[in-house]
Amino acid sequence: MTARILKIAVPVPLYKCFDYLAPSECNETVAAGTRAVIQFGKRQLIGIVISEHATSDVPVNKLRAIKQLLPQPLPAELLHFLQWAASYYQQPIGEALNHALPALLRQIDQQQVLASLWQLSEAGRLQNADALSRAPRQAELLRQLQQHIHGMDKSQLDRLDFKWRDSLRALEKKGWVMRLSQSDAGALVQHRAHIATKPLLNDEQKHAVDTVAASLDNFQAFLLEGITGSGKTEVYLQLVEQVILKNEQSLILVPEINLTPQLISRFEERFSIPIAVLHSGLNNSQRLLAWQQARDNQVQIIIGTRSALFTPLAKPGLIIIDEEHDSSYKQQDSFRYHARDLALVRAKRLNIPLLMGSATPSLESLYNCQQGRYQRLALTRRAGKALPPKLQLLDVRRKPMQEGLSDHLVAAIKQTLANKSQVLLFLNRRGYAPTLLCHDCGWVMPCPRCDARLTYHHYRKLMRCHHCGHETRPPDACPECQCKELINIGIGTERLEQHLNSLFPDKHVSRIDSDTTSRKGSLDKKLAEAHSGEADILIGTQMLAKGHDFPHVTLVGILDVDSSLFSSDFRAPEFMAQQLIQVAGRAGRAEKPGQVIIQTHHPEHPLLQTLLHHGYAAFAKSALIERQLASFPPYSALALLRAEATQAYLPGKFLEQAFERLSLYQPAVELFGPFPSPMERRAGRYRHQLLIQATSRAALQQCMNKVIPALNTLADANKVRWSIDIDPQSML
Ligand code: ADP
Ligand code: ZN
Ligand code: ZN
């Protein structure tokens, strides 16, 4: 009898698969994508079957047998797509597959996979927990379940500080709690009774919908370019409706779920069918449930962040990427991939259209339109009655400034508040002040683990590093000269908030950054205040540049645009322009016209000039010409090889060894470095990098395929942590 050998992808950072024998009791062919419990060294792991063979490079009597084959395989389409992705991004296949599987399918404990979810019934939702005062545990459980409207699983219940089983049973008996098993469709979603009426599309929207709809049976990439408020979401909604009518599924990717509640509620309001929303607040059972529902065509609308791209789709019809320029589509660690670029590949393999929308498309996508690879669809007017905001550069050179605000901006704030409108101030720097300086000797307080300064956080009275999370008390005196006069230099959102509170003591100032919104529910509360008009002045970091309509905001102040004008990263101007236009787009979305004031010391800067006087499209055009002159992407392909170690000399040494291998492929690829990374030391580790440039992605791939999987054989490979980043978005 011939041996049955299965090639298994194992979740370890190695560029190969491992051979195992099929379990002896297994007679059928084993489908690729099947999950298998294996012994790997001393550990038991779940691997994925890639293929079956009759021979192995390892003697058959040395091979171990698979312990168990598990149900719920990775569907073949998804498996092959992930194999492609792992190979393009030069990531170990086992890690890529592991990244795409829901956590419960990666766990060996089968109890967990079959775990249940408990959710309140309609009656349970209406109960007042206080009425259960004679059963305090039941009351507490009821309260918890009322807070977790999507249900709780065992692991969540186990976190309660009492034994919950009896109380749960009591609530089940009352008919207030239902137990959902994974085959229950619709558990994640609420059914709605009515479908909201839809607006009549304007000509441009209609053209966009008709064009994409005409191609629903084929692959085609579309770029929907429209200023904020021009009705892109409405285009998505009406296309998704057509896909539903064909009994097919739509996958919609958004940059961050918490920051796009409006988009999701518009989908929920429009359609009376289940929607799977994959957000970070889901527990593992809910995530698995959503995965299974998509796989079994029990949901036709799936909305999620970048990793939702790896959702199995029974009847794929359309992929939409909202805010396609957003950098959060790039995963920056472990499995490094770009969800927008990969969505294109998946849509092509599925032979369905891909629709990418943005007010400020990436230069890459605009280039692809120029090349005829994407079809461009434009929305040039704001839908409804809203007018586009007026942008104004404010030259603050030699002007009196207080805590980052010029007199002119303060006057505009006063005026806006007097008109009972809201103000939004944009400052992309958290904390109180980014530098603590000794007035006597000039010492500045560094992070002990990074080449960076510590930021003072007034609210928590702590110095914090924004790169490694290091925290410490502010010193009483300068460690160099013992002087007690230490000054906070620079302005963060906390300091701005404090200043505005003293300027406008009777106004409600609301700061929205990751420090004030980290607690569960706090972001929703802040956003509700902003929408209702309860907050008068909103202070925000980049969080506020995304996805929100603030209908009462009529003045946007951008405090510090200058710091991004002089970055060494070639993508910095693009990001700056996108952020500026996105923040500006938050103003005047209802019937009140908006005004945007940009404070700068460089009013003549060509980038700002082009952007303000000729708009984003003109800016993008000139920026693309600059990229071409400098041979940067999309006119070339890049890869960044990074290495880090606790000893300073090791990363450079390892990269020199890699350089030697790579240099065999010159001149098809050009090599720059190795150099120390822009912040050489971070979290106590030294970092170096080597940039690899090729004239095309194909040329880059050829070289990468040969070199990267073999890097672990280099002399110093096991002394460093190294990683490869194909199409890097950040050079840091
Ligand atoms: P975007 O996604 O481009 O920011 P939206 O789709 O959110 O734009 O549209 C902005 C506002 O205009 C929303 O309140 C939306 O309901 C409304 N709107 C969109 N299209 C139309 C239309 N054809 N007629 C009337 N109102 C519309
Ligand atoms: Zn000093
Ligand atoms: Zn640090």
**pLDDT over 80 at 188, yes or no:** no
**Which residues, judged by CB distance below 6 Å to any ligand atom, belong to the binding site of ligand 1?**
199-202, 205, 226, 228-234, 383-384
CATH code assigned to 203-379: 3.40.50.300
**pLDDT over 50 at 194, yes or no:** no
The rounded Å distance from CA 396 to ligand 1 centre is 36
Give tens-digit pLDDT for 226-249. Answer: 987 889 999 999 999 999 999 999
The rounded Å distance from CA 208 to ligand 1 centre is 14
The fold of the 637-726 domain, in CATH, is: Alpha-Beta Plaits (3.30.70)
Smallest CA separation from ligand 1 atom 4, residue = 229
In angstroms, the CA 34 to CA 42 distance is 22
**pLDDT over 90 at 549, yes or no:** no
Which amino acid does the sequence have at 210?
D
In angstroms, the CA 525 to CA 552 distance is 17
For residue 152, list its beta bridge partners.
Answer: 118
**Range 5-106 classified under CATH 3.40.1440.60:** yes
In angstroms, the CA 70 to CA 82 distance is 20
Residue with tokens 């998946």: 346
The rounded Å distance from CA 200 to ligand 1 centre is 10
Atom of ligand 1 nearest to the CA of 230: 3
For residue 697, list its beta bridge partners.
Answer: none
Which amino acid does the sequence have at 596?
V
Is-contact 201 354, C-beta < 8 A? no
CATH class, domain 390-433+490-625, is alpha beta
Half-sphere CA count of 512, side-chain side, radius 13 A: 29
Name the percent of the chain lying above pLDDT 90.
66
What is the three-class DSSP state of 683? Answer: coil
- C-alpha triplet 41, 47, 51: angle, nearest 5°: 115
Task: Report the range of poorest mean pLDDT among 184-193, 512-521, 715-724.
Answer: 184-193
In angstroms, the CA 217 to CA 220 distance is 9
Number of CB atoms found within 10 A of residue 43's CB: 10
Of 180, 50, 46, whose CA–CA distance to 109 is shortest?
A: 46
pTM value is 0.87
Smallest CA separation from ligand 1 atom 9, residue = 231
Tell me what pLDDT residue 181 has.
58
The rounded Å distance from CA 684 to ligand 3 centre is 8
Half-sphere CA count of 342, side-chain side, radius 13 A: 29
Atom of ligand 1 nearest to the CA of 200: 23
Is-contact 107 154, C-beta < 8 A? no
Give the ligand whose atoms come closest to the C-alpha of residue 230. 1
DSSP state for residue 428 in the 8-state scheme: -
The best mutation among 204, 206, 234 to test binding of ligand 1, ranked by most ligand atoms within 8 Å of the C-beta, falls on: 234
Give the ligand whose atoms come closest to the C-alpha of residue 681. 3
Smallest CA separation from ligand 1 atom 26, residue = 384
Give DSSP secondary structure letters for 152-196.
Answer: EEHHHHHTSSS--HHHHHHHHHTT-EEEE-TT-TTTTS---S-PP
Give the ligand whose atoms come closest to the C-alpha of residue 484. 2
The rounded Å distance from CA 221 to ligand 1 centre is 23
Query: Parallel, antiparallel, or unpaired for β 301-304 and 275-278?
Result: parallel
Is-contact 477 484, C-beta < 8 A? yes
Name the percent of the chain lying above pLDDT 70.
95
Give tens-digit pLDDT for 37-66. Answer: 999 999 999 999 999 998 889 998 899 999
DSSP state for residue 101 in the 8-state scheme: S
The rounded Å distance from CA 471 to ligand 3 centre is 9
**pLDDT over 80 at 281, yes or no:** no
| Structure confidence at residue 479 as a pLDDT band (50, 70, 90) | very high
Atom of ligand 1 nearest to the CA of 263: 7
Tell me what pLDDT residue 186 has.
41
In angstroms, the CA 88 to CA 82 distance is 10
What residues contact residue 33 under an 8 Å CB cut-off, 6+ apart? 48, 49, 73, 74, 75, 76, 78, 79
Tell me what pLDDT residue 694 has.
97
**pLDDT over 70 at 113, yes or no:** no
